[in-house]
């Protein structure tokens, strides 16, 4: 079942075309990456999906309905944790905003922190945590906004390679456990290949989709070789390899 569908989405800013004829979909439970060079319109596309910007042309459907505003959970590269609040105080914020009473918000947050092995940081402050731990907290807080369609805009890019690899594995686990659907913007081809069921390659100006790639490397006898072939193909599509 399609969780989100974009049909012929077009957008310009100050009469400058940014995106042209974008059509894509993400099925329930998928992780789909959008990869492309800087300035191609990836974040603009997310802002359209989130309802922050309005379409010039086209259609965006979430769960079969138009007007996606308020129907997605959107996480940026920066974790945006409030430094003066404890981890629990940060995590319960979306619940409080949704009108849930504090005692119930604390109960729900505590259950989630326990479920994902984060109860030991409950009463600590953001500055006391590593970058990877902060991102885990930020991801759980994003989940508590109540929407199971996640938009992750370079959410892992600020982390060192070892931390990023561990967080990738953790996110794959919670994505399955929480029954999420994820669209990921990334500049990292390796990250997109590891996390995604499918990848859309966005290129040119205005930005257009030049390819849709299905990641079936997990089903091959030589997954590392298959991943290398996908990487070479993406580099070719981006004009970075002959």
Residue range 134-190, pLDDT digits in tens: 988 988 888 888 889 999 998 888 788 888 899 899 999 989 998 999 999 998 999
Q: In what order do the strands lie in the sheet with 2-13?
A: 16-27, 2-13, 57-62
Q: Taking the model in full, what pTM does it have?
A: 0.91
- Residue 54 clears pLDDT 80, i.e. is over it: yes
- pLDDT score at 128: 95
Domains of the chain are 1-72+148-242 (3.40.50.300), 78-146 (no CATH)
Confidence check: pLDDT of 202 > 70: yes
Confidence of residue 242 (pLDDT cuts 50, 70, 90): low
* Two structure tokens written together for 24: 């894509």
The predicted pLDDT at position 240 comes to: 81
Question: Residue-wise over 202-216: b if at least 16 C-beta within 10 A, else e?
Answer: bbeebbbbeeebebe
Whether the pLDDT of residue 75 is over 90: the answer is no
């Amino acid at each position: 079942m399609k969780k989100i569908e974009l049909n012929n989405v077009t957008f310009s800013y100050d009469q400058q075309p940014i995106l042209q004829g974008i059509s894509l979909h993400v099925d329930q439970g998928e992780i789909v990456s959008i990869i492309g060079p800087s300035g191609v319109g990836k974040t603009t596309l997310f802002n359209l999906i989130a309802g922050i910007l309005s379409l010039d042309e086209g259609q965006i459907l979430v769960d079969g309905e138009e007007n996606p505003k308020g129907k997605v959970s959107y996480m940026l590269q920066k974790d945006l944790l409030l430094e003066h609040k404890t981890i629990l105080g940060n995590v319960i914020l979306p619940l409080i905003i949704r009108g849930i009473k504090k005692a119930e918000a604390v109960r729900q947050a505590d259950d989630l922190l326990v479920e994902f092995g984060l109860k030991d940081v409950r009463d600590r402050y953001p500055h006391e945590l590593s970058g990877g731990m902060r991102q885990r907290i930020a991801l759980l807080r994003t989940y508590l906004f109540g929407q199971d369609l996640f938009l992750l805009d370079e959410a892992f890019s600020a982390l060192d390679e070892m931390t990023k690899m561990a967080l990738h594995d953790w996110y794959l686990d919670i994505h399955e456990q929480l029954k999420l659907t994820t669209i990921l913007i990334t500049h990292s081809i390796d990250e997109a290949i590891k996390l995604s069921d499918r990848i859309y390659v966005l290129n040119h100006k205005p930005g257009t989709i030049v390819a849709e790639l299905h990641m079936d490397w997990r089903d091959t006898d030589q997954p590392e070789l298959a991943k290398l072939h996908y990487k070479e193909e993406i580099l070719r599509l981006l004009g970075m390899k002959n």
